[in-house]
Chain A
Amino acid sequence: MTFSDLNFIFRAMPLFLLIYYVFSAKLRPWLLVVASLAFYVVNDWKFVALLVGATIINYGFAKLVEKKKKAALAVIIIFNAGLLSFFKVAGRLKLGIAFPLGLSFYIFKMISYQVDLYREQIKEVSFRNISAYFTMFPQIISGPISRFSYVENNSAWAVVPAEERPSKGQRFQAILAMVEDGLKYFVIGLFMKVMIADHLAVLWSDIKTIGYESISTPLAWLGAYAYSMNLYFDFWGYSLMAAGLGVMLGFPFIENFIQPYAANSVSDFYRRWHATLGSWFRDYIYIPLGGSKKGTGRTIFNLLVVWLITGLWHGMAVNFVLWAMALLVIILVEKFILSKWEKVYKIVGHLNVWVLIPCTWVIFAIHSVRKLGTYGLRLFPVINNGIAVNKNDILYLLPSYWPYLLMGLVLVIPFVQTFYRKHKENILVTLVLFVMFWISIISLANSAGNPFMYLRF
């Protein structure tokens, strides 16, 4: 059950919200833990014991780390990283061990928690709060990777003294306002995922169906952009749904995608793309390694380490390493060469984002190096490797997909987000969101559990 499951939207989510807000602020964190474990059981019951076990072990070590015991910190970091590495490697070696749901995301949270605790950025160790933080269902599948302060700032968990407590009516209004605000983010995310990402995924699938050796160069480029948008709206949409759910539960809004395609360089792009992951790598790997403060050679080495881990974290396959190394090269060129010419950098930086980033997503998408080579030559046909290429193929596909491509292009424009933030209380904007919600739901109803329309050939 994911957030874009009708049973989640119309059954699990409203039911949980009702229960959550019927009970007192004190009990809400525990309710979230129970609901999160139930959510995990529904999705991946085999590994719920691992999640619970890792939470308890991390709690135990947190008690030691709180007392500034460096060895305890080292052991728990090695344990957490080892757990993640074990499952990643086991998957790569095809040992028949499945990858636990959300392992990457809760392990990253566990590491950040222990380090922040050691750095005294966390005041107290509370089993209730860390259980809620590690297991919370809005973030368990795909993040965002929030920091512990996210949990500490939950306004619905604040226990207010009786004399300062607002009236029941005021509290009810405050809850409704939070749910309304979160629901809006959720609806926008749902629309992005269902109406843009899922439809553009079909275009990318059509290209695979044709076979990379038989696509024309214009279609290869369309494919690169369609896949880029598919990935962006799938991930951004899901992050918005997760963030919206968080807001509904009283957490602050967490921004995971900060207009990445408006970035002025590839380095800037990755500060805005999956920002919570980028900042995690920065704070817990790059800076502890010395960041950019220890000379050029060391900076290059540190970036190499970060990008190598980023690549392997996304998947233990050659294409992910290639993807990461390609980005590393672009970033190094930007940082050490292009940055010397400010005016050139401004133009080339944007071009890198708009042209090179989609090419790097192609590397990310195609796991076979041979097929990657084929696609690469269709993008840049320096050698004609086409077999049975239909020069008009793009014209066959565009009529079916242009509305989704157009919607994607519109939503990439930073102004749209600025406009929404400025006018999100406006009735017309709310009505548009209402329409977007039902369009998404109708699309979902017709694509899930309906054998007549789910797969259409």
Chain B
Amino acid sequence: MKIKGYLLIILIVVSAVGLSVCSYIYTPAKYQEYSAGVDKEPVMAPMLKGVTAGVFPWTPVEEAEDSKPEEQQAKDEEKQPEAKIEVVEPKSFTKVEDDYFDDAVFIGDSRMVGLSQYCPEIDSRATFFAKKSLTIYNLQKDAWIDVENGPKETIFDALSKISFSKVYIMVGINEIGRGTNETYHDAYADVINRIREIQPEALIFINSTMHVTKEKSEGDELYNNGNINVRNAALFDLIDYQHVFYLNINDMLDDAEGNLDASLSGDGVHLKGSCYEPWHQYLLFNGVVD
């Protein structure tokens, strides 16, 4: 028998069996979060997904948040502000001009990328750190900011180099279906705390996760406005109206039923290139000036 004549079958069968065995062994410890269940996908699938995300069988398992050493937890607790006695007047929103964005940075996912590409009034003034598929999780973990003639750096490294007075953030759509409301909230809180450590004087504006259109919302188990609203509400306790503000941009972009206005979107999720002006106007009407 000439093996050459059946080489592809042999290679595929052997590699598929090998990967399935490895995936079966390592899934409980490493790839559980990538598994949809053996009734839905072949045994090897969790490992293939995990490896793509950079989790190899030899990658050390990350410690869970609640398993931080006691010492660290004590330190964290020390950082918690003591109960406020003094009543601080909340800062209010006011109308500003485009030059307000001269010292602003915009951080976010593809929707923020869209703002950079189709709102020249802001793009020509502000700095954008935005990337398609960005989540609150990889925003802080990954080195994803392009640096000229150098390796990519983390958002915090990038923020350490330039001083900004305003930080606008919009993520949230890609995180739906991933983690819980609590993990989303905690990750968001971590990002805000880190930014405040680096840029203590900056005003941080959390932009609500933009809704999707009615058609998209009603036809998608995951990416629907119910789930988006729950995630948006999970962030309310991060707002202090002193340093951290919440901009419900859906006020400006929704139709009467609380869905993203279908006339503004080509795919039900993003604004069309010609439809960023309402968001721009909303930001102009919701500046904060000391």
Residues on B with beta carbons closer than 8 Å to the beta carbon of A437? 8, 12
Closest to B133 in A: A456
Enumerate chain A residues within 8 angstroms of B265, measured Cβ to Cβ.
209
Q: Does B185 contact A (CB under 8 A)?
A: no
The interface residues of chain A lying within 8 Å CB-to-CB of B275 are: 211
Residues of A within 8 A of B272 (CB): 209-211, 213-214
Tally chain B residues at the interface, Cβ within 8 Å. 49
Interface residues of B in 149-176 (CB under 8 A from A): 173-174, 176
User: A451 with B273: in contact, given A187-B8, A390-B118, A441-B48 (CB under 8 Å)?
Assistant: no
Query: Interface code B1-33, partner A: CB below 8 Å = 1, 0 otherwise?
Result: 100111111011001100000000000000000
In this assembly, does B72 line the interface, its C-beta being within 8 Å of a C-beta of chain A? no
Decide if A277 is an interface residue (CB 8 Å cutoff).
no
Verify A214–B48 contact, CB threshold 8 A: no
Given contacts A211-B272, A213-B274, A457-B173, contact A183 B34 (CB under 8 A): no
Alpha-carbon distance A441/B52, docked complex (angstroms): 11
CB of A176 within 8 Å of the partner chain = yes
Q: Which residues of A contact B173 (CB under 8 A)?
A: 457
Q: Among B6, B45, B51, B270, point to the contact of A180 (Cβ < 8 A).
A: B6
Q: Smallest distance from the beta carbon of A449 to chain B beta carbons, Å?
A: 5
A209 touches B36 (CB 8 A): no
Q: Are B9 and A450 in contact (CB under 8 A)?
A: no
Q: Which of B9, B34, B45, B133 contacts A179 (CB 8 A)?
A: B9
Contact of A457 among B16, B45, B109, B178 (CB under 8 A): B109
Give chain B nearest CB distance to A434 CB in angstroms: 5
For B239, the chain A residues whose CB sits under 8 A away are none
Contact A427 B7 (CB under 8 A): yes
Q: Which of A3-11, A113-121, A315-323, A336-344 contacts B (4 or more CB under 8 A)?
A: A3-11
Chain A residue nearest to B39 in the complex (CB): A7
User: How distant is B11 from chain A, measured CB to nearest CB, in Å?
Assistant: 5
Report the interface size for chain A: residues with CB under 8 A from the other chain.
49
C-alpha spacing A245/B240, complex, angstroms: 62
Q: Please give, as numbers and ranges, the residues of chain A lying within 8 Å of B114 by CB-CB distance.
A: 209
Residue A215 CB within 8 A of the other chain: yes
Contacts of B113 in A (CB 8 A): 396
Question: Contact mask A426-457 → B, CB, 8 Å, 1/0?
Answer: 01001101100110011001101111110111
What mask results when residues 191 to 233 of chain A are scored 1 for a CB within 8 Å of chain B, else 0? 0000000000000010011110111000000000000000000
Interface residue A152 (Cβ < 8 Å from any Cβ of B): no
A11, B7: Cβ atoms closer than 8 Å: no
A159 located at the interface, meaning its Cβ lies under 8 Å from any Cβ of chain B in the complex: no
Query: Does B289 belong to the interface (CB within 8 Å)?
Result: no
Contact A388 B273 (CB under 8 A): yes
The listed residue (A7, A211, A389) touching B41 by CB distance below 8 A is: A7
Question: Are B273 and A10 in contact (CB-based, < 8 A)?
Answer: no
Among the interface residues A187, A209, A434, which one has the most CB atoms of the partner chain B within 10 A? Answer: A209
Q: Does A164 contact B (CB under 8 A)?
A: no
Q: Min CB distance, B47 to chain A, in Å? A: 9
Is there an interface contact between B133 and A208, defined as CB atoms closer than 8 Å?
no
Please tell me if the beta carbons of A438 and B269 are within 8 angstroms of each other in the complex. Answer: no
A455 & B270 in contact (Cβ 8 Å cutoff):
no
Where the two chains meet, the residues of B that have a C-beta atom closer than 8 Å to any C-beta of A are 1, 4-9, 11-12, 15-16, 34, 36, 40-42, 44-45, 48-49, 51-53, 109-111, 113-114, 117-118, 132-133, 173-174, 176-178, 222-223, 265-267, 269-270, 272-276
Can you name 27 A-B residue pairings with CB atoms under 8 Å?
A6-B41, A6-B42, A7-B42, A11-B42, A173-B1, A179-B9, A180-B5, A184-B8, A187-B8, A210-B266, A211-B272, A211-B273, A213-B273, A388-B273, A390-B273, A425-B4, A427-B4, A430-B4, A442-B48, A442-B51, A442-B52, A446-B52, A449-B36, A450-B36, A451-B176, A452-B177, A455-B223
4 extra interface residue pairs, beta carbon distance < 8 Å, beyond A183-B12, A457-B173: A180-B6, A210-B266, A445-B48, A453-B52
